[in-house]
Chains A and B, each alone.
Chain A
């Protein structure tokens, strides 16, 4: 009785095993080796991929993180202030809180718009400067 190699000793060899185990080996075609080596040589001769410009990107990343962090902090602070005011006024004025806030501080949104525009301008200038230095522009 034939048995398989290590680890599967209890498996008796069946006809299916014989069929699957006894295959005529394929001989590689004559050009296979050369074709693999050609591709390897191509890869070896290719210039290395351009690394990501971390040195240039880090200031921009830090700046963006700072702006977003500050914006998040301001939002939370304003939110807490609004909640505080609302709770002080009482539940009667809960129906239309935005009208009173807008009436009290009419120019506050303009400041946010200006900040957003400034940030966009800054990031555009930074991106343009980075692209110009790397020869893309």
Chain B
């Protein structure tokens, strides 16, 4: 999604904005509104709040556009700035989360036809991410937002890849411990895929 966005367009728009053409910022917002809202959504799981956070990130980007040094891509700079905005805004006004232990657990491994149960377990896992301790939550959010690109997630957080990897491993371990049934289900899915005739 992000790769398709033209870096040349970003550069041209940034140059025009810095030259005084306010309207050119619209191109930047148009291209990046989707990614930024989706990133904010993963931070708070509240659609209205996600749009507010994304708007605030765009405003900060507008104010600090001249600080983009062009050593990294515009998207790297924008995502890092947005992550800072989301982090500080959510620290000031946190979202309501439940402790990880209190996150609802799926009742059992869903069957092939039990899509509702699948949706419920997916929702529970996603909500449980927000209940992770702060230092593990953000790596998880950014890792999956960047389509499991560890380097991109580390750049957005401004952390070395090794640190990011360690925090991510710890977070995944916490989630696995919280949802052991999903691991069982995973094994069953893999087994089912290897022996498709057994399910019939």
Contacts and interface: CB of A to CB of B under 8 A. Distances in A.
B172 interface: yes
Interface string A10-21: 010011110111
A44 B122 CA distance: 43
Nearest to B122: A19
Interface of A is mostly: helix
B149 A6 contact: yes
B59 interface: yes
Interface residues of B, number: 48
Contact of B168 (A6, A8, A21): A8
Interface stretch (A29-37, A81-89, A103-111): A29-37
B167 to A, nearest CB: 12
Q: How big is chain A's contact interface, by range?
A: 20 to 34
B172 A36 contact: no
A68 B135 CA distance: 47
B55 A32 contact: yes
B51 interface: yes
Interface in B46-87: 47, 50-51, 54-55, 58-59, 62-63
Contacts of B25: 37, 40
Chain B CB count within 10 A is highest, among A23, A26, A43, for: A26
A43 B148 CA distance: 36
Interface in A49-73: none
Interface of B: 1, 22-23, 25-26, 29-30, 33-34, 37-38, 41-42, 47, 50-51, 54-55, 58-59, 62-63, 121-122, 125-126, 129, 140, 144, 147-151, 154, 161, 165, 168-169, 172, 175-176, 179, 182-183, 185-186, 189
Interface of A: 4-8, 11, 14-17, 19-21, 23, 25-29, 32-33, 35-37, 39-41, 43-44
